[in-house]
Structure 1
Amino acid sequence: MGTGTPTGQQPEPGTPAQVADVPAEWPVESSQERYRGPVFGLATDRVEMPEGPGGGTVVAARDYLLHPGAAAVLALDEQGRVLLQRQYRHAVRHKLWELPAGMLDVQGEPPVETARRELVEEAGLRARTWHELPSVLPSPGVTDEVVHLFLARGLSPVPEEENGFVRRHEEAELVAAWVPLEEAVGLVLQGRVRNGITVIGILAARTAAQDGFADLPDVSAR
């Protein structure tokens, strides 16, 4: 049995037809930026919100990280393999296998351009075709960060003399691996790959591959 709604009837709130994130904004009494660093800031908003089932409102403080956002690339080669890169992440004290990614730290640069740049800088690759995978809110309870995910195919190497990027800090010891997409799904389900953006990118690409990526928006010309 399908989950569609009979013609002429409006779906009930909470049914599959009504499940979609929508913009909303509760009234903010005041906002204070408490910290600003090179990567992110920390703000406290005093937000007017429902007091409880009985009605009424109350003002409560909510802290959150201000983040410029990021772009990540699932690079898929002609053999159906995904490029994964191992990188040290100090906050969790782990070396994690991840997709090439970077912050939206160039003013006015569209996310797909950031993705193209990161693929060149981190992996030394260009892609002929680009498709948009679902964007992700990694931790909406604590940050306003949005990560834009892209599928890159038709890969070709960039000559070293054309890539002037110098890897430093965490990127200085990047280790790369090409993993068949189905095997990458297995790594996710076994808990061997846990970076959230990488998990979502792999599972989304595997699902989209079932119809040859026909449902994904083509952003190659952007």
Structure 2
Amino acid sequence: MRVLILGGTTEARELAALIAGEHEVITSLAGRTSAPRLPAGEVRVGGFGGPEGLARYLAEQRIDVLVDATHPFAARISANAAAMAVPTLILRRPGWVASPGDDWQRVASVADAAAALTGGRVFLTTGRQTIHAFAHRDDCWFLARSVEPPAPPMPRHLEVLLDRGPFTVEGERWLLAEHRIDVLVTKDSGGSDAKLAAARAEGVRVILVDRPPMPAAPAVSSAEAAAAWLRQQRSR
């Protein structure tokens, strides 16, 4: 089969590596990162131009199956993928679950996270494209971590840390202590939770942005389960 995988996530790369010997694999990357980690198989970079463009690409490339392995907060492309005429699977890593000792406040959006702040020193890991939502909070000092530099508007009191994971619990604990962080603001992206474990150990409050709802489509939580689903599709 010809399989199109949407997304530059860890799960997307794992799936491409698993199925490259069984199927013709194309992975589509959004192109927001200048030096992305490339998966096995063919790679395309850039948007499709909305649902019509995606449908046209699927037809032109004779795609048999579409796998949406985008970031859990990529709601628009996920909605577009679920509306396509080809069989579609959603591959999403599980969300985070609080453990004893966690001090979490869940909010519905990044704007709500900005409103929930009460001053102090904030570690911001919601991505460079959301930093503008905190620009009006002059009462907070921010440490913002992202892969690429953010663009204005930005908070007045801001230090930017350009870095890419994976991160360790020890390293995250050092970062929180070194910058005297009072609150961590992050999205419920799932996957490695080193910063959450560090926040628990250091007694740091967490404001956690909930995921948008998933479209109505078959869904799995691991690359192995997605590969098994693809094998079932091939046998039909």
TM-score range, shorter chain: under 0.3
Q: Which has the larger radius of gyration?
A: 1
Structure with more relative contact order (C-alpha pairs < 8 Å, separation 6 or more): 2
Q: Give the TM-score, by structure 2 length.
A: 0.24
